[in-house]
Amino acid sequence: MIPAPAVPLGVPLGRPRVMGVVNVTPDSFSDGGRYAAPADAVAHGLALLDEGADLLDIGGESTRPGATRPLVAEELARVVPVIRELADAGAVVSVDTMRHEVAEAALEAGAVVVNDVSGGLADPAVLEVVAAAGATYVAMHWRAHSDRMRDFAVYDEAGGVVAAVCRELEERVEVIRAAGVADDRIVLDPGLGFAKTPAHSWALLRDLDPLLALGHPLLVGASRKSFLGSLLDSSRAGRGGPRPVGEREAAHLAVVLELARAGVWGVRVHDVRSARDALAVWAALTQEEGPHD
């Protein structure tokens, strides 16, 4: 396999990198399968690039609570053609997968990042694939698959969810290093909403410093997630229930601005234009010479 080119993790942009989400699934919580057809997914990815995405995250498996996993062949058929076409168009492509077979095929098709929501726990062989390719690896905090992750949303130890997530991510980093992935290719993700109640996700966002102190770039995905919907309970507007997925963007942008202030490496978003607009305003307000790319 030809080694993947490095993603310049250490090159400052003056703002978080914006990772645009492209779900090639029929059961995504965020878009309901709108881009399940490869041609639609490619068109969406190209649109996100035009809106300012720094990299695209292509996923063929829904990780919404209760989701059923596709067969390996299904996931491959969903993502590989999309990755190949977007990489050929010049995009920096990340594959969102927990499977080593999918990671390997994606890297061969032009991806340079493997975004593994399980941090190598679901399929340890993915780490060998990443190491062999010299790819960048995003390790998210994870405890169980989507169909039972809610059963693992318990953080009773001293320090609560923040201490537990930091400790468990540190343990994963040691395993990832041992598999041969270089330190400068490791990105961490606290896994908002994965085996976490809304209160756990808010606690992590309020206390990012211990996560940043782990010494690796931090990617955070808050876009459209249920903890935002729970906060914005629609019953206050007389409708009842959490705010619908498509009506959470303003709240998400407030989170993006706080993440920028904290100094995270990247934000994983569905609405790239809104995120880039918010970050441009933040840069203009906080950087004397204005935003720089």
- Which of these, 32, 56, 185, 167, lies nearest to 109 by C-alpha position? 56
Instruction: Give the number of other Cβ atoms within 10 Å of residue 229's Cβ.
Output: 19
Active site residue 225: yes
Instruction: Give the residues across from 220 on adjacent strands.
Output: 267
**Out of 84, 185, 268, 276, which one is annotated catalytic?**
268
Active site residue 196: no
**Out of 225, 243, 248, 276, which one is annotated catalytic?**
225
Q: In angstroms, rounded to a whole number, what is the distance separating the alpha carbons of residues 133 and 103?
A: 10
Q: Which residues are catalytic?
A: 225, 268
